[in-house]
Chain A
Amino acid sequence: MTNILEIKNLNKKYPNFTLKDVNITLPKGAIMGFIGENGAGKTTTIKAILNIIKDYEGSIKLFDKDNNDEVVKEDIGVVLDETFFSEILLIKDINPIMQGIFKNWDSNLFFKYLDKFNLNKNQKIKTLSKGMKKKLEIITAISHHPKLLILDEPTSGLDPVARNDVMELFQSFIENEDCAIFFSTHITTDLEHIADYITFINEGKIVLSKTKDEIIDNYGIVKCKSTDFQKFFKEDYLKYRKNKYEYEVLVENKKEFKKKYHDLVIDKITLEDLMVLMIKGE
């Protein structure tokens, strides 16, 4: 098994939204960032992977097995948006509950993480701040030694320090090279630090799925005047956006572009620029 997750031609229709021909492959040992606007289809894709929605077309394989096979769920850790245990429960209550759900639940590891992140086990879940609760959710997700961590917006609404803690948790999880992380986010700066792969979804379609290095090495932004822009051929660039004083042009292959237009400066791309230009650009 080299791929932990394989989605092929996933289609799902809703009255107002369609997920169309989604293909995603996540090899083991990798972290994939799943980016896109709110409402682009990130959560729907995650729900399909986890079988929270069932009525879809296409195939989803986890560890080479169909995702309908309940056995695969033993090896998945999940953090979903606004979905967790009842807040009336105590933090320590999670232990006996999860012990009765996952065969590999590791109580020692769970309490070790609680200590490490200063979570008081006797506290009620509802008394936790948003950041603390998210940490608890992630700790809960990794305490049964899953091979795949699936997280929906794990860092949204967190302050930079809490986000940093979360990223550290991910790093320590991925040290085991048989594991992988698939997480959706619209905070693209998180990905620049830790992601190996970037998959970008827009209006229910995958518009890009590549390694982060490929994107950073090849993609670029050209900021130029209207007169320069008029000289470009359509096949030279992917998208462009007209700002007040200049054109922002997204190019897919910096080197090729440089060969053709050597007097223009090509800026390094950030994932945020890429996302905005892909969505807003023409």
Chain B
Amino acid sequence: MKGFIVKDLLIVKENLKASLIILGVYLLLFIGNPSNLSFLPPFMSFYLMLSTFSYDELNKWESYAFSFPSGRRNIVLSKYISTFILTLISYALIFVLSIGISLYLHNLNFGEMFITFLANMASIIFLLSIIYPIIFKFGIEKARLAIFYVVVGIVLLFTLVGNFISTNILNSIFKVFIYIMPFIVLGTLILSYLLSIKIMAKKEL
């Protein structure tokens, strides 16, 4: 399984080299306001991980990987672990960078920043948990549209909830939500993994 993770991270490395300029420009544009930087890690883990699926599909990696020992299981397991590693690294990097900038600008609110990052990370993990089984089932090219609908659906849901419920209630819901959120995310993640394993075990190429 280690080899599968190494493969994903090497693809990310090569891909990151290609997106370094965009990243640089983004950093320069938003460096004045660290809260904007929190968009960067989801971009990194979301975009870079999904691109590993694209590269895999382009070279029909799955067929090849199925011929390796425990290939079907390892394809799934490694994607979840690679995502975890990448998400953790990217969030940690940007978190440290944000703290640095905030200290320099003398406007550090550590607690708030930490919660923002955590909530941000949880939503990305939640989103990927929904998306991964879809990709494993249909392949990244066909799943693109589904991913779009999932993202739009979630945004729409939150907007609707925001419109119909008063801010006060929302705030009190949010206070409870923040405690149950980790369990929802973790539950979704576990379900997602089990479903992906099941999909892959039956997949025919």
Residues of A within 8 A of B (CB): 47, 50-55, 70-71, 73-74, 76, 78, 80, 82-90, 93, 96-102, 150
Question: Which residues of B have CB within 8 Å of A90?
Answer: 14
Q: B69, A102: Cβ atoms under 8 Å?
A: yes
Contact check: which of A50, A83, A93, A100 meets B61 at CB < 8 Å? Answer: A83
Once the chains are docked, how many angstroms separate the CA of A93 from the CA of B15?
14
Question: Which of B15, B56, B66 has the largest count of A CB atoms less than 10 A from its CB?
Answer: B66
Asked if A54 and B67 sit within 8 Å, CB to CB, the answer is no
- Contact A78–B11 (Cβ < 8 Å): no
Inter-subunit contact A96/B3 (CB<8 Å): yes
Q: How far is the CB of A106 from chain B (nearest CB, A)?
A: 14
B202 at the interface (CB under 8 A from A): yes
Per DSSP, chain B at the interface is helix
B66 A93 Cβ-Cβ under 8 A: no
Do A54 and B68 touch across chains, with their CB atoms under 8 A apart? Answer: no
- On chain B, the residues within 8 Å of A71 by CB distance are 69
User: A100's contact among B3, B11, B63, B70, by CB below 8 Å, is which?
Assistant: B3
Count class of interface residues, chain B: 20 to 34
Q: Nearest Cβ in chain A — how far from B205, in angstroms?
A: 5
- Give Cα A99 to B7, complex, Å: 11
In the complex, besides A82-B60, A86-B61, 12 extra interface pairs with C-beta distance below 8 angstroms are A54-B204, A73-B68, A73-B69, A78-B67, A83-B60, A83-B64, A86-B11, A88-B11, A100-B4, A101-B3, A102-B69, A150-B67
Question: Do residues B55 and A101 form an inter-chain contact, with CB atoms below 8 A?
Answer: no
Q: A78: which of B15, B64, B70, B205 is its contact (CB, 8 Å)?
A: B64
Interface hits, B15-68 → A, CB 8 Å = 15, 55-56, 58-61, 63-64, 66-68
Contact, CB under 8 Å: B3 / A50: no
Task: Give A97 to B64 CA distance when docked, in angstroms.
Answer: 13
The 8 tightest CB contacts between A and B, nearest first, are A100-B3, A100-B2, A101-B3, A86-B55, A83-B60, A73-B69, A78-B67, A50-B67
> A97 vs B56: C-alpha distance in the bound complex, in angstroms?
14
B125 within 8 Å of A (CB atoms): no
CA distance A182 to B3 in the complex (A): 26
8 residue pairs A–B, Cβ–Cβ below 8 Å: A52-B67, A70-B70, A83-B59, A83-B63, A84-B59, A84-B60, A86-B58, A99-B2
B56 is contacted by which of A82, A86, A96, A98 (Cβ under 8 Å)? A86
In the bound complex, what is the Cα–Cα distance between A243 and B67 (angstroms)?
A: 45
Task: Find chain B residues with CB under 8 A from A99 CB.
Answer: 2-3
A86-B11, A89-B11 known; A100 vs B204 contact (CB < 8 Å):
no
Q: Which B residue sits closest to A124, measured CB to CB?
A: B14
